[in-house]
Structure 1
Amino acid sequence: MVDITKVRALDFHTHAEEPCGCHADDGYDDLQTTMAKYFGAPWTHPPTIQQTAAHYREQNIAAVIFPVDAERETGYRRYKNEEVAALAAENDDVLIPFASIDPWKGKMAAREARRLIKDFGIKGFKFHPTMQGFYPNDRMAYELYEAIAEEGGIALFHTGQTGVGSGMPGGNGMRLKYSNPMYMDDVAVDFPDMKIILAHPSFPWQEEALSVATHKPNVYIDLSGWSPKYFPDILVKYCNGLLKKKVLFGSDWPMITPERWLADFEKIAIKDHLREDIIKNNGARLLGLM
Structure 2
Amino acid sequence: MIIDYGATPPIPELSLSNGTHLANYRRVYATAEKAAGRGAMDLDQWFAAVDEAGIGLTVIKARDVETTFGARIPNEAVAKVVADHPGRFLGFAGVDPNKGMTALRELEHAVTVLGLKGLNIQCFENRLAVDDRRMYPIYAKCVELDIPVNIHVGMNFSLKSSPEFGHPMLLDKVLCDFPELRVIASPPGWPWVAELLAVAWRHPNLSIGLVAMRPKLLGVEHSGYGPLMQYGRTILKDRMIFGTAWPMLPMKRAIEEIRALPISPEIADRWLGGNAKALLRL
- State the TM-score bracket (shorter-chain normalisation): 0.7 to 0.9
AA paired with 1:280?
G
Within a 5 Å distance, the mapping from 1:177-256 to structure 2 comes to 177-231=164-218, 232-256=225-249
Give the structure-1-normalised TM-score: 0.85
Q: 1:81 aligns with which of 75, 82, 98?
A: 75
Aligned positions of 1:30-69 closer than 5 A:
33-34=26-27, 36-37=29-30, 39-41=32-34, 42-45=36-39, 53=47, 55-61=49-55, 62-69=57-64
Change (3 A) 1:273 1:25: closer
- Report matched runs for 1:65-214 at 5 Å: 65-75=60-70, 77-163=71-157, 165=158, 171=159, 173-214=160-201
Residues in 1 aligned to 2:252 and 2:147: alpha-carbon distance in whole angstroms: 28
Residue type matched to 1:64 in 2?
A: V
In 2, Cα distance between equivalents of 1:145 and 1:220 = 16
Q: Once the 2 structures are TM-superposed, how far is the Cα of residue 54 of structure 1 from its aligned partner?
A: 5.5
Structure 2 Cα separation of the partners of residues 179 and 48 of structure 1: 33
- Aligned equivalents of 1:101 and 1:57: distance in 2? 31
Aligned partner letter, 1:277: R
Aligned length: 273
Gapped runs of 5+ residues in structure 2? 219-224
Which residue identity is paired with 1:279? L
Describe the shift of the 1:24–1:246 C-alpha distance in structure 2 as closer, same or farther (beyond 3 A): closer
Using structure 2 for the length normalisation, give the TM-score: 0.87
**2:242 & 2:154 partners in 1: Cα distance?**
17
Distance in 1 between residues matched to 2:131 and 2:44, nearest whole Å: 35
C-alpha distance in structure 2 between counterparts of 1:11 and 1:24, whole Å: 23
Give me the CA root mean square deviation: 2.5
Distance 1:241 1:144, change over 3 A: same
Aligned equivalents of 2:115, 2:90: Cα separation in 1: 9
The structure-2 alpha-carbon separation of the partners of 1:52 and 1:239, relative to structure 1 and needing over 3 Å to count, comes to same
2 CA distance for matches of 1:185 and 1:279?
26
